[in-house]
């Protein structure tokens, strides 16, 4: 019986990889220009790490994690996101010492047992960045600017930057209380999930997509009105700095994010072309998480980009991502010529030249047709006669011009033409 891949787990086929490479290369270029360095984090972590950082009552921890007890009896989870692991590594390896700004980025697959649909998968890739040590609003804006510049470099346009502030542990509890009171009158109309959220995590009711829940929250108080003075100033300054850079944004009071570690600035990048799953990136500050995971009090901020969603935006941009064609094709006829071709192929590739040959060894004519289809600009022709004279024919496909070159000089001759 044919074994198929698991629902929500996708193959990225060779035709698509150039696009992924382009995205990853651009991320590295842009992030490194901003002083970020790569960190590679494990895919498997102790379940407690995610439960404690993302929050016990979030959808991710309650319903979506791939968790299991390993053979040693340890409760482990395949990572649903990267921030928790980066913070764990930051604390575990004392990366807070010496104190100051530390900027890290990562890329790789994440796993959430969500209902698969267009733009939502169970294994999906994120490119993320996290900056530690600086509470200033200018860092928030620097991070957002870097993200927007990354999209610009990819040629992805028409994105909307949505912004909110989730306050801090001083001011958020009052807002939660007021929201709980407000929604109390509507309790019976809320979906079953939101009825539960109302007591445990009322903020999450704000971004429920259910029509009845949206109606209930339509006149709800805004967290912004409850911000304490330092949080209000912070949010104000973020907006002023964005304004100074002429970076358009919209304040969205429903933007509460699905993870509990956030404080103050939160943001999402929305691509209207993506349909229901329209957030191509999301992030924010998490000033309490390092301390929560056993480190010294350290402000931090970051984001993660959904790579699959981003690749579909690149599609829409109509760019073409061509696979590299071979630079040289060898057409050889006869056993001895075939063995000579095999050695030339090896030497060309050692020189870094993309070279191919035919493996069926049919007529020279059909090999030349293949050479033509391959797109290679140069073709080496090796038959009995060429072997006897010790000179191969090299054909330039664009002009049809043929040159005879000593077999011992073929590789250097082509290297000079191609580099």
- DSSP code string of 322-374: PPPPPSEEEEE-SHHHHHHHHHHHHHHHHTT--EEE-SS---HHHHHHHHHHH
Asked if 127 touches ligand HAM (CB under 6 A), the answer is no
Q: What is the 3-state secondary structure (H, E, C) of 292-321?
A: HCCCCCCCEEEEEEEHHHHHHHHHHCCCCC
The binder of ligand HAM chosen from 281, 289, 371, 410 (CB under 6 A): 281
To the nearest whole angstrom, how small is the minimum distance from the Cβ of residue 285 to ligand HAM? 8
Instruction: Confirm or reject binding of residue 130 to ligand HAM (CB under 6 A).
Output: yes
- Of the candidate spans 12-20, 112-120, 180-188, 378-386, the one that interacts with ligand HAM by CB under 6 A turns out to be 112-120
- As given in the structure block, the two tokens for residue 263 are 């404080």
CA–CA separation, 275 vs 253, rounded Å? 21
**Site for ligand HAM (CB under 6 A): which residue of 26, 77, 126, 164?**
126
User: What is the C-alpha R_g of the chain?
Assistant: 28
Q: Of 258, 375, 377, 383, which one interacts with ligand HAM (CB under 6 A)?
A: 258
Q: Would you state the structure tokens that stand for residue 168, as one six-digit string?
A: 């801090």
Residue 81 binds ligand HAM, judged by CB under 6 A:
yes
| Closer of 78 and 259 to ligand HAM (Cβ) | 259
Neighbours of 115 (CB within 10 A): 9
Site residues (CB under 6 A) for ligand HAM, limited to 10-39: none
CB of 311 to ligand HAM, least distance (A): 11
User: What phi and psi values does residue 382 have, to the nearest 5 degrees?
Assistant: -130, 110
Start-to-end CA span in the chain (Å): 50
Closer CB to ligand HAM, residue 133 or residue 302?
302
Residue 145 Cβ, how far from ligand HAM at the closest point, in Å? 16
Q: Which of 106, 124, 150, 175 binds ligand HAM (CB under 6 A)?
A: 124
Nearer to ligand HAM, 165 or 327 (CB): 165
- Does 98 sit behind a cis peptide bond, omega within 30 degrees of 0 on the bond before it? yes
Binds ligand HAM by CB under 6 A, chosen from 44, 89, 279, 314: 279
Per-position b or e across 229-252, b if 16+ CB within 10 A of its CB: eebbebbeebbebbeeeeeebeeb
**Stretch binding ligand HAM (CB under 6 A), from 76-84, 186-194, 374-382, 395-403:** 76-84
Q: How far is the CB of 361 from ligand HAM (least distance, A)?
A: 46
Do the beta carbons of residue 79 and residue 50 sit within 8 Å? Answer: yes
Among 234-242, 296-304, 315-323, 332-340, the segment contacting ligand HAM (CB under 6 A):
296-304
User: Where do contacts with ligand HAM occur on this chain (CB under 6 A)?
Assistant: 81-83, 112, 114, 120-121, 124, 126, 128, 130, 258-259, 279-284, 302-304, 306, 308-309
């Amino acid at each position: 019986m044919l074994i198929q891949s698991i629902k929500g787990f996708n193959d990225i086929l060779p035709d698509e990889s150039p696009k992924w490479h382009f995205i990853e290369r651009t991320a590295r270029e842009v992030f490194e220009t901003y002083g970020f360095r790569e960190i590679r984090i494990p895919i498997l972590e102790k379940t407690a790490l995610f439960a404690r950082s993302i929050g016990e009552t979030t959808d991710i921890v309650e319903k979506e994690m791939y968790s299991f007890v390993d053979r040693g009896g340890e409760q482990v989870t395949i990572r649903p996101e990267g921030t928790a692991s980066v913070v764990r590594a930051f604390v575990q390896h004392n990366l807070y010492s010496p104190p100051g700004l530390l900027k890290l980025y990562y890329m790789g697959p994440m796993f959430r047992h969500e209902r698969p649909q267009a733009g939502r998968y169970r294994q999906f890739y994120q490119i993320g960045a996290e900056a530690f040590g600086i509470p200033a609003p200018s860092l928030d804006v620097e991070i957002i600017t870097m993200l927007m510049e990354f999209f610009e470099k990819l040629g992805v346009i028409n994105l909307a930057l949505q912004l909110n502030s989730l306050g801090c542990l001083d001011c958020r509890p009052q807002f939660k209380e007021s929201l709980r009171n407000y929604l109390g009158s509507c309790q019976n109309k809320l979906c079953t999930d939101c009825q539960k959220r109302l007591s445990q995590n009322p903020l999450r009711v704000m971004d429920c997509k259910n029509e009845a829940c949206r109606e209930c929250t339509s006149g709800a108080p805004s967290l912004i009105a409850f911000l304490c003075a330092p949080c209000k100033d912070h949010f104000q300054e973020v907006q002023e700095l964005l304004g100074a850079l002429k970076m358009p944004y919209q304040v969205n009071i429903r933007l509460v994010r699905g993870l509990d570690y956030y404080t103050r600035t939160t943001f999402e990048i929305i691509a209207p072309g993506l349909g229901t799953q329209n957030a191509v990136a999301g992030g924010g500050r998490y000033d309490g998480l390092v301390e929560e995971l056993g480190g010294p009090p350290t402000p931090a901020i970051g984001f993660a980009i959904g790579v699959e969603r981003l690749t579909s935006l690149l599609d829409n941009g109509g760019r073409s991502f061509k696979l590299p064609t071979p630079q040289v094709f060898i057409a050889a006829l006869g056993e001895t010529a075939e063995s000579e071709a095999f050695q030339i192929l090896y030497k060309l590739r050692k020189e870094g030249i993309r070279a191919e040959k035919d493996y069926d060894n049919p007529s020279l004519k059909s090999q030349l047709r293949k050479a033509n289809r391959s797109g290679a600009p140069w073709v080496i022709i090796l038959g009995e006669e060429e072997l006897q004279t010790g000179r191969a024919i090299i054909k330039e496909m664009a002009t049809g011009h043929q040159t005879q070159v000593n077999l011992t000089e073929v590789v250097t001759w082509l290297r000079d033409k191609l580099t």
